[in-house]
Amino acid sequence: MIERLVKEEIKRVPPYIPGRGIEEIARTYSLPPEEIIKLASNENPLGASPKAIEAIRANAGRVNIYPEAMADELREALSHYVGLSPENILVGNGSDDVMEQCVKVFLSRGEGAVITPPTFSYYKILITMYGARCIEVQLKEGEIEYSFDEAALLDAAEQAKLLFICSPNNPTGNLVPEALLREMLERDVIVVLDEAYAEFSGTSFAHLVEHYENLVVLRTFSKAFGLAGLRVGYCLASEEVVDYLARVRQPFSVNLLAQLAAIAALDDRDFLRRSVEVVREGRRYIIEQLRKLGIKAFRSHANFVLFRTDKQGLVEELMKRGIITRGCESFPGLDARYVRVSVGTPEQNRRFVETLEEVL
Ligand code: PMP
Cα-to-centroid distance, 95 and ligand 1 (Å): 6
- pLDDT of 20 > 90? The answer is no
Span from the CA of 42 to the centroid of ligand 1 (angstroms): 9
Per-residue pLDDT, averaged over 217-237, amounts to: 98
CA distance 129 to 166: 20
- Say if ligand 1 is within 6 A of residue 116 CB: no
Could you tell me the end-to-end alpha-carbon distance of the chain, in angstroms, rounded to an integer? 50
Q: Is the CB of 19 under 6 A from ligand 1?
A: no
Whether the predicted pLDDT of 267 surpasses 90: yes
Q: What is the pLDDT of residue 144?
A: 96
pTM passes above 0.95: yes
Ligand 1 binding pocket includes 199 (Cβ within 6 Å): no
Tell me if 95 CB under 6 Å of ligand 1: yes
User: From CA 338, how far away is CA 62, in angstroms rounded?
Assistant: 46
Q: Which atom of ligand 1 is nearest to the CA of 223?
A: 14
User: CB–CB of 255/59 below 8 Å?
Assistant: no
Q: Alpha-carbon distance 226 to 203, whole Å? A: 19
Residue 337's pLDDT is: 96
- Among the residue ranges 27-36, 113-122, 265-274, the one predicted with the least confidence is 27-36
Q: Calculate mean pLDDT across residues 60-65.
A: 97
- For residues 100-120, average pLDDT: 98
Task: Name the band, by pLDDT with cuts 50, 70 and 90, for residue 18.
Answer: confident
Distance CA 61, CA 34 (A): 31
Percent of the chain with pLDDT strictly greater than 90: 97
Residues 268 and 50 sit within 8 Å (Cβ to Cβ): yes
Point out the ligand 1 atom lying closest to the alpha carbon of residue 228: 14
For residue 196, report the distance from its CA to the centre of ligand 1, in Å. 6
Q: What is the pLDDT of residue 242?
A: 98
**pLDDT band with cut points at 50, 70 and 90 for residue 273:** very high
Q: Ligand 1 mean position to 302 CA, how many Å? A: 12
The verdict on the CB of residue 96 being under 6 Å from ligand 1 is yes
Over 90: is that where the pLDDT of 52 sits? yes
Please state the rounded mean pLDDT for residues 37-61. Answer: 97
- Tell me how many degrees the CA angle 125-256-83 measures, rounded to the nearest 5: 75
**In contact, 306 and 171? CB cutoff 8 Å:** yes
Q: Is residue 17 very low, low, confident or very high in pLDDT (cuts 50, 70, 90)? A: confident
**pLDDT confidence of residue 136:** 98
Is residue 19 pLDDT above 90, yes or no? no
Kindly give the number of the ligand 1 atom that is closest to the alpha carbon of 41.
8
The burial of 48, by beta-carbon neighbours within 10 Å (0-12 exposed, 13-18 middle, 19 or more buried), is given as: buried
Q: How confident is the model at residue 121 (pLDDT cuts 50, 70, 90)?
A: very high
Ligand 1: centre distance to CA 159 (Å): 26
- In the chain the domains, ranked by start, together with CATH numbers, are 2-47+270-359 (3.90.1150.10), 50-268 (3.40.640.10)
Residue 342 CB less than 6 A away from ligand 1: no
Q: What percent of the chain has pLDDT over 70?
A: 100
Q: What pLDDT does 201 receive? A: 98
Q: pLDDT by residue (tens digit) across 185-207?
A: 999 999 999 999 999 999 999 99
* Whether residue 127 has pLDDT greater than 90: yes
Verify whether ligand 1 is closer than 6 Å to residue 331 (CB atom): no
Which of 102, 201, 222 should be mutated for ligand 1, with most atoms under 8 A from CB? 222
Confidence of residue 227 (pLDDT cuts 50, 70, 90): very high
